[in-house]
Structures are given as structure tokens and as C-alpha cells.
Structure 1
Amino acid sequence: MNPVIDVLAASEIDHLEGLWGQLLAHHSKKAPHLAELGALRSPAESWRLRREQYIEWLREPRTTVLVARDGDRLLGYAVVRVLDAPGSWQWGDQVGVLETLVVDDDARGTGVGQALVGAARERLAELKVQVMKISVIAGNEDAVRFYQREGAVDFVRTLVMPVSG
């Protein structure tokens, strides 16, 4: 498959809802252990909250939503931000963050994810960003292997735990 990668306008954000729902379902299957901390949000509620977050992020001038298309069909999307993050390593004072990467269930394994990650890397390189941070939900080892094939290495492990109880 040879998807066309475009930048999605903020006014078209609602086109992403179906793919976000697929990602939510995928995460619920890959990370059932997280249900111990609280029930999964409904797809509608989850999308409402993520949509608000996307709109807020798109107010930042260096946030981009990249979409992969095959004609009129939306195959996937990636949300990429740039954050100030001076740290212990000489990576510059800003890092890219791949906030979301979703590939339509029927398009997985066809190169769509690679195309979106490649476009995200190109976008960040244009902005003189040297490093992109990627978070993967625990249990999604397929995603870890995908990012490692793309050149990602382990950096930080994030844990969650209940505050009371």
C-alpha cells in the first residue's frame, strides 16, 4: 500500500473519531490489567476528551496531525507535538512527542504506520528537533517491536498506581 500523507486541518478533527475508537478498543485488549485502576471510558466519552485535547494542542504552532489516505479512505493518523525539554542528554532543548499513532485495523501491516512515523520524523527534522519520544501502553508488545524496527530505544518506564487503598 502506498498511502498519501497529508496534514489534517483542525476543522477536520472529527474525521478521526472512528480511528480513535479502534485505538481505544485495541488498548482495552492489550492492557486489561489497567481496568483494576478504573473502568474504561465509553468510546463517545473517550473521544470527547481526546478531541478537546487535540484542539488544545493544535493551538500550539508546532503541533501537527498527519493523516494517511488511500483516496477518500482514512487509513491512520499521527499527532506530533514539540515540547521544551532540556534534559541530561544533548538532544537540544526541545523534543518531539508522538502523542498518537493509529492505523485502521484493516490497514495494519501494510506500511501505513511506517509512512506516518516517517512523516512525523520529517516534520520534526524540519523544526530542527533531534529526538522523538513515544509512549506505548504496557502490554502492546507489537507496538514496541514496530517502534524498535523504526529505530526507537528504551528511555523511560512509566508506572501507574492507585493513590488510596
Structure 2
Amino acid sequence: MLAVKQGSVADVGSVWPLWASMVEHHRAVAGEDWPVRTAEAAWAIRREQYVGWLTDGSGTLLLATTDAGLVGYAMLQIQPSGASWDLGPSIGELESLAVVPEARGQGVGHRLMGECRKLLRERGIDHWTVGVVEANEDAVRLYLREGFKPYYRQLLGRV
């Protein structure tokens, strides 16, 4: 049975294997076009961000577990909305969503995103964003199924 609970700073270390798997997936789908940090180097940066967001109250960590243990997580952050768009004073940002390869396609990501939506609604937030590597076609499909639409395109180029 899949359960989702809110995590704390003490739980941040438990998501490391899922983070590492996500970084390696990014390498597989886009690593020929763009440099990807080692999972360890990326984790050092992201772990500090997670702890900061959880400590300052702008972040929420959600952990998805089954009898087999941790199968997925989501990190949701609340940010001020931008100046151009009338999206309310704050928006949500799905900073990370990771599911162990063995559990993909079983509704774990959908469930985590549903819990994120619930938290955002409770805070009176009407909009949220997610960044996704264009080459990560499975993730793009998931986010489109979950109601996200192309909104803002960020381009990356070499100097």
C-alpha cells in the first residue's frame, strides 16, 4: 500500500539514492548535449537547498513509501510570483520529483503531485510550476497529464 507523509530536515538524507538515480537519468537523456554534475556534487548543492527551504518554511518534503520502503519523493517550494503574470502573491514550484525505477508507472508520481496540490490549495495558492529537461519525454508526458501546460521556455546555450 502506498502512503505519503510529510518529511522533515531529518529525512533529507533518505532521499539521496532517489536523487542520485534522477541525476543519472538526466545524464542518460541529455548528457550528450549538456554537462551533468556527478550525483555527489549535485547532491551537495541540492541537499543544502532542501535543508534551507525546510528550515525557512518555504519548502515541503513529501515521502512516498510502501512495504518495500521509500519509493518516491517530491520537494515543493513556495515562491513569490513574478511581476508580469497575475498568479497571486505566491506560486508553488515542484523542485524535484523522483520515483525509484521499479515503481515508475504505478501512480507514485501522480500521488505525490496530488498531495502537493492539496498543500497548495490549503495555502490558497492557485498556480504552480515545474521545470523539466526537454529530452525527458516520460516526465514531460507525466506533467502534461497532470495538467501542466507550456508556459515559459528557458533556453540554454554555450557562450
Q: TM-score range by the shorter chain?
A: over 0.9
> Aligned-pair RMSD on alpha carbons?
1.4
Query: What is the CA–CA distance in structure 1 between the aligned matches of 2:28 and 2:112, rounded to whole Å?
Result: 23
Query: What is the CA–CA distance in structure 2 between the aligned matches of 1:34 and 1:84, rounded to whole Å?
Result: 32
Asked if 1:158 corresponds to 2:154, the answer is yes
TM-score by length of 1: 0.90
Paired residues of 2:134 and 2:140 also in contact (CA < 8 A): no
- Determine the structure 2 residue equivalent to 1:32: 31
- Determine the structure 1 residue equivalent to 2:102: 106
The letter for the 2-side match of 1:58 is L
Match of 1:90 among 82, 86, 91: 86
Structure 2: stretches of 5+ with no match in the other structure: none
Paired residues of 2:92 and 2:128 also in contact (CA < 8 A): yes
The letter for the 2-side match of 1:125 is R
> In terms of mean alpha carbon deviation, does 107-116 or 140-149 score higher?
140-149
Asked if 1:116 corresponds to 2:112, the answer is yes
**Shift of the alpha carbon at 1:7?**
0.6
User: Per the alignment, do residues 142 and 72 of structure 1 end up closer, same or farther by CA in structure 2, a change over 3 Å counting?
Assistant: closer
Find the residue that maps to 1:99 and give its secondary structure.
Answer: strand
Q: Deviations over 1:85-114 (max 9, x none)?
A: 144333211110000000111000000000
Find the residue that maps to 1:59 and give its secondary structure.
Answer: helix
The letter for the 2-side match of 1:5 is V
Match of 2:39 among 38, 43, 50: 43
Structure 1: stretches of 5+ with no match in the other structure: none
- Structure scoring higher RCO (CA < 8 A, sep ≥ 6) equals 1
- Determine the structure 2 residue equivalent to 1:135: 131
User: Per the alignment, do residues 129 and 32 of structure 1 end up closer, same or farther by CA in structure 2, a change over 3 Å counting?
Assistant: same
Query: What is the CA–CA distance in structure 1 between the aligned matches of 2:38 and 2:115, rounded to whole Å?
Result: 31
Q: How many residues align?
A: 159
Query: What is the CA–CA distance in structure 2 between the aligned matches of 1:63 and 1:41, rounded to whole Å?
Result: 23
Paired residues of 1:98 and 1:134 also in contact (CA < 8 A): yes
User: Per the alignment, do residues 109 and 85 of structure 1 end up closer, same or farther by CA in structure 2, a change over 3 Å counting?
Assistant: same
